[in-house]
Structure 1
Amino acid sequence: MKVIIASCVFPPEPVVSAKTSMDVAQYFHEQGHEVIVACPTPSRNVSKADADEKVASMSLPFLVKRLFAISSGKSGFLSRFVENVSYGLSVFFFLLKQRKVDVVYANVWPVFSLGLLLLACKIKGIKVVASVQDLYPESLAAQRRLSNTGVIYKVLFFLDSFVARRCDQIIVISDGFKTSYTQERGINEGKITVIRNWVKSAQVTVMDKALARAQLAAQTSIILADDDVVCVYGGNMGVASGLDEFMSHIGMVDNRIIFLLAGDGSLVPGLRRMVQQRGLESRVKFLVPWPAELTSIAFGAADLLLLPIAAGQEFASVPSKLITYLLAARPIMLLTNSRSESAIELKNSGAGFCVEERSDGAISSCLDGFVRLSPEERMTMGRSGRAYAENFYSSDLALAKINTIFERLV
């Protein structure tokens, strides 16, 4: 087969969705197929200078075509729309120029990028397997960028449903997503396959806490004392993360607790201002941007990993960083609805706890309770999380399912 992997994010960007696209490309290359990756220039959690250097140093056995896209410098609706459409147009013209493509694996931004990609594939007679990472426009409504009763929302929902019906197969990352596509969008259930995101366990090394903190100090300006209780957030700091809301509640938290925020995103400037205004510079550290090579070190330096999710967002997306957190073998604290899939997965893993009430008292009480846990209790949670991730988020199983879908289509 000739396979095109169209991905809106791709390494050296460290996000999970970029890594899964890389894994899909490597898997089909190793199966003996011709593979071409079509992705934009890196812009997520990586500086321009670092991106150019890392792209130049990447040695891959398959072709990677970096397509033009107007990178979104902020989290505004218009900025993201321009990025979405510009990449979609680039993919559209790229696919029209290709010869004898069998299937496209589309891990692209929804509605417009996917719609333009699909149009090119229909013209060329190429099969499309779409990977859905977020529900749109539900996610936009959850972030209060759109009203779910407004005209724009209804138009986007219609377009997303229209595009989805014309894909040959759709991969969704949760059972809740499958329900949204089959029951709300009317997509034939036979077109939908649930394949949860994955992170290869070798990509996250479990580190000794003291060693991780020493290496973090050696490679950055961040110094964490051995007796500090360190809570780490690692990932995109965008509107959907709910990180701004979480950090607004830390006023009553035990002074022994230090927060390390690793990543990048639209919330960073506001978070820095909040920290400065409240005089919390000694207790809140930023690792921005967060190089992929420091992933295990940042997580290893943690006593507790933080995963807040913006109110309402928990039912429109499933943060893939939860898998990386589980593999880091550290306890996890969720701030979300206990009925969300993330909360259910965390409960099943035995790796942490979920806080539903979004208040100073509830968050402070939860963190105080964590501080009182013994080292053995914390270690047990962490080990349970990693074992769960290795058992239930297997890359081998996921890639084999994708291969089965491709073989059925071609």
Structure 2
Amino acid sequence: MERILIVNSIYKPEPGVSAQIAEALTVELDQLGYFVTILAPFPSRPKGYKFDFKYTKHKTHIEKIGNSSNLIRLPSYIYSGSNPILRLIEGISFGLACYRYIRRNSHTLDKVYMNTWPIFGQYGVAKACMFEKKPYIVHIQDVYPESFTNKLPNFLKKITHTLLFKIEKFVVQNASQVVVISETMKKLIMSTRKIKEEKIQVVINWQDSSQFSLNEKQPKSDKFTFMYLGNIGTVAGIPFLLKSFASSNLMAKLIIAGSGSQKSDCIAYAKSFPKVDIEFQEVPDGKVPEIQAQADVFLLPIIKNGASSSVPSKLPSYMFSGKPIIACVDHNSETEKCIKSANCGWVSEPEDVQQLVAILRKVVELPPSDLDILGANALRFGQKYFSKEVNLNKLINLITK
């Protein structure tokens, strides 16, 4: 059987979707008889998340998984905050660690799949694979360097984009296969990186729908409850959500569940609305369905130009809970297309307080039967497009062919 190297920027116990993908791949490939090695840094995401582990971070840590698989934690610089420069340095550090590993151990592997830090993290893997003549598959979760350079001042944007784009284009063009998470991203990568259509495949980030079977057994608040569950970082725009909810003057509750680099700032900001029912909750591993069961309606805000070509992992998670969704996202974004196609909620412009307030007030006046219909639509759409069974099989077939 072939020996497959999986390079992942996050891995269990980290709760992110990329970690879940890598774990599912490892389990499935191991059961099929492949020899799998996973390279990952030490756990750090999201910021503030409490991990129960005892690693010595300056030493390589090896852990046996399944029948014939190994998880190898490589020492590298770790940064879980939102500073883009430090995140690039993190990518460089892990990319170098992976480069050294592949060059030294190329005789133990046949092919490489990577879902790692963009640009420099990917480049380290790609360069090593080319030196050792090993085919690699690159899984793209967001379009870089665009997502990075869009946040820079204009005087830095052009030169930075030019330099980083050359590196990213090198990675993509030399891959045996490219995996993206939406049709919009596929078209963008094909046109800007000059990739042939047969070389790029869409595999949607999935959720395990079986985890959401206990929702009806969970207690709910007497108040109408809006909920955001996910990473509390810069892109999420939680301060906008807090301001909008406070401005609505509703006798309702807002739950912000999760961790992230902006959580402490958001908690401090929420205290400026002492008469508004806002609650912050932690999300222990495996408890997402239970926590989401408290919601009547989910909230999905993203800052302007934050995720036009990707689908946030919280969207399928929300859908499998069978509740309506209010999304504040860019026009023609993948998220807007999904919600409108599913007919499972409402879409407003990002960071538009007045528009969101109007939707919040409208939603609380709807009869429960209307909300149930929208929630059922969400669940049906999620099962059709975001299920683990459909998308995991696509990725397995791509890696093993």
Same fold flag (TM > 0.5): yes
Aligned-partner residue type, residue 84 of structure 1: G
CA offset digits 1:198-224 (Å, max 9, x no partner): 111113334127x344xxxxxxxxxxx
Aligned-partner residue type, residue 253 of structure 2: I
Match of 2:3 in 1: 2
Q: Is the 8 A contact 1:13 1:43 kept in 2?
A: yes
Q: Is the 8 A contact 2:48 2:261 kept in 1?
A: no
TM-score, with length taken from structure 2? 0.91
Q: 1:265 aligns with which of 244, 260, 264?
A: 260
Match of 1:285 in 2: 279
Distance 1:49 1:248 in 2: 28
Within a 5 Å distance, the mapping from 1:115-194 to structure 2 comes to: 115-142=123-150, 144-145=151-152, 147=154, 149-194=157-202
Aligned-partner residue type, residue 254 of structure 2: F
Distance 2:350 2:11 in 1: 36
Cα deviation for residue 189 of structure 1 reads 2.1
Q: Is the 8 A contact 2:241 2:301 kept in 1?
A: yes
Match of 2:344 in 1: 351
Match of 1:342 in 2: 335
Cα deviation for residue 49 of structure 1 reads 5.4
1:255 aligns with 2:250: yes
Q: Is the 8 A contact 1:146 1:153 kept in 2?
A: no
Cα deviation for residue 82 of structure 1 reads 1.8
Aligned-partner residue type, residue 308 of structure 1: P
Match of 2:387 in 1: 394
Q: Percent identical across equivalent pairs?
A: 25
Cα deviation for residue 196 of structure 1 reads 1.0
Q: Is the 8 A contact 2:9 2:117 kept in 1?
A: yes
Cα deviation for residue 145 of structure 1 reads 3.6
| CA-atom RMSD in angstroms | 2.3
Distance 1:59 1:159 in 2: 34
- Go from structure 1 to structure 2 and tell me whether the alpha carbon gap of 1:204 and 1:4 turns closer, same or farther (over 3 Å shift): farther
Cα deviation for residue 68 of structure 1 reads 1.6
Q: Is the 8 A contact 1:251 1:360 kept in 2?
A: no
Number of aligned positions between the proteins: 391
Deviates more, 1:394-403 or 1:118-127: 394-403
Unaligned 5+ segments in structure 2 are: none
1:68 aligns with 2:75: yes
Q: Is the 8 A contact 1:40 1:67 kept in 2?
A: yes
Q: Secondary structure at the match of 2:230?
A: strand
Q: Is the 8 A contact 2:149 2:160 kept in 1?
A: no
Q: Secondary structure at the match of 2:4?
A: strand
Match of 2:121 in 1: 113
Distance 2:298 2:37 in 1: 36
Cα deviation for residue 53 of structure 1 reads 6.5
Q: 2:101 aligns with which of 89, 94, 103?
A: 94
Cα deviation for residue 27 of structure 1 reads 1.4
Cα deviation for residue 3 of structure 1 reads 0.8
Distance 1:77 1:149 in 2: 13
Within a 5 Å distance, the mapping from 1:314-353 to structure 2 comes to: 314-353=307-346
Q: Is the 8 A contact 2:254 2:279 kept in 1?
A: yes
Aligned-partner residue type, residue 42 of structure 2: T
Aligned-partner residue type, residue 176 of structure 2: D
Q: Is the 8 A contact 2:6 2:114 kept in 1?
A: yes
